[in-house]
Amino acid sequence: MYTTDALMLSCMLATYMRKGLLAVVVTFIMIFSGCLAPTVDTLSMNQSQEPELPSEPCNGLLILCLRTYDNVTFPETHNAFSTHQDGIYYPASNHQTGLDAQWNAGMRAFMIDTHYENLGDERVETVRLCHGDDDRGFSPCTYGNVDSVNWLTNLRDKMEQNPRDIVTLLVENYVQVEHLKAVFELSQLYEKAFIHEANSTWPTLQELIEQNTTLVIFWEQGGDDSHPWIHDFLTHSWTTNYAEENTEDMNCDLLRGDIEQEVYHMNNWLRGPLGLSDPLRGDEANDVDFLIERAKECWQQHGKRPTFIAVDWWEDGDVVAAAKAINELEDWQ
């Protein structure tokens, strides 16, 4: 004899079979036999499988949450620490205002350089942010420098206050890797670092947020398997040329890195006298319309939007508005 439950199930299956709902019949049989757990997915077969947008935006826009990291365009400051506000002046500077102003304007990617304050004094305590070469017999920090832990701690505080923003650092490193790691540990940024396996699919911004790995770090000093949180810039990404003499000379061709990678930097600053960054033509290089058109040209050439638009003298023009405009486009046309 049938039990009451079995009789009810038999009647339900007969009804569904008369209506031709074979998929539903099979699902019920599998659930009843214990082969399939009655999950939301299996009991809602007719519902859309598309993930829903979260209620809060990612990096300022809801539409970015479900995009992979490599399919978002981030505004980026070249030598972000090298500013008049930080006590570094031209010709060693690249911007007028420092991290606070950059962050408040919407910058979320930063190029930084790490050196020892004095050559021969290699300690965690002497790691500084400064720009230049070490091969002149003295540290480039002589021209001006910023305390690395203080700068990164300030960045950490901003990330804590804005937990739905993904941040990227590109580090030109000239210190021992263990000292670099210590600086990130002291600033409490190390725990936020995402680890990407080369040639694997990048996560969405929402996934990075949910994992609390909202910091992606690249460096230019080559791969280091013992420190996978520092991604080799030339293995995981590539870059266009930089510091052209005129905007007409800018193009989207490969300069360095692996062009097969999805992440790339569209460098966008001009050189002036002595090959240094030109502070007088920031308006021209960072013009919104120019940046948008150049980004669309790179998109057309490479089949995807630039991951970063890197600029000097960010206060001139509006790279943040240009990046937002690119992010709002479905394609380059």
Flag whether the pTM goes above 0.75.
Answer: yes
Same domain, residue pair 83 and 17: no
Mean pLDDT for 64-86 is: 98
Q: What is the DSSP letter of 170?
A: E
pLDDT category at 43 given cuts 50, 70, 90 is: very low
68 and 204 inside one domain: yes
Same domain, 180 and 308: yes
What average pLDDT score do residues 288-316 get? 98
Percent of the chain with pLDDT over 70: 85
Report the number of distinct structural domains present in the chain.
2
pLDDT at 27: 44
- Is-contact 259 237, C-beta < 8 A? no
Nearest to 319 by CA among 255, 265, 271: 265
Mean per-residue pLDDT over the chain, rounded = 88
- 57 closest CA partner among 163, 203, 157: 163
* Parent domain of 11: 4-43
Residue 163 located in a structural domain: yes
Q: How far is CA 20 from CA 6, 14, 15, 17, 46, in A?
A: 21, 10, 9, 5, 15
Residue 318 lies in a domain: yes
Q: How confident is residue 165, by pLDDT bands cut at 50, 70 and 90?
A: very high
The answer to whether position 54 is within a domain reads no
218: nearest Cα among 199, 235, 243, 203: 235
CATH for 85: 3.20.20.190
Residue 196 lies inside a defined structural domain of this protein: yes
Spatial separation of the C-alpha atoms in residues 98 and 83, rounded to whole Å:
6
pLDDT in tens, 87-106: 999 999 999 999 999 999 99
State which amino acid sits at residue 263: V
Residues 190-210, mean pLDDT to the nearest whole number = 97
Contact between 107 and 166 (Cβ < 8 Å)? no
Q: Say yes or no: 88 and 209 in one domain.
A: yes
The answer to whether residues 39 and 75 belong to one domain is no
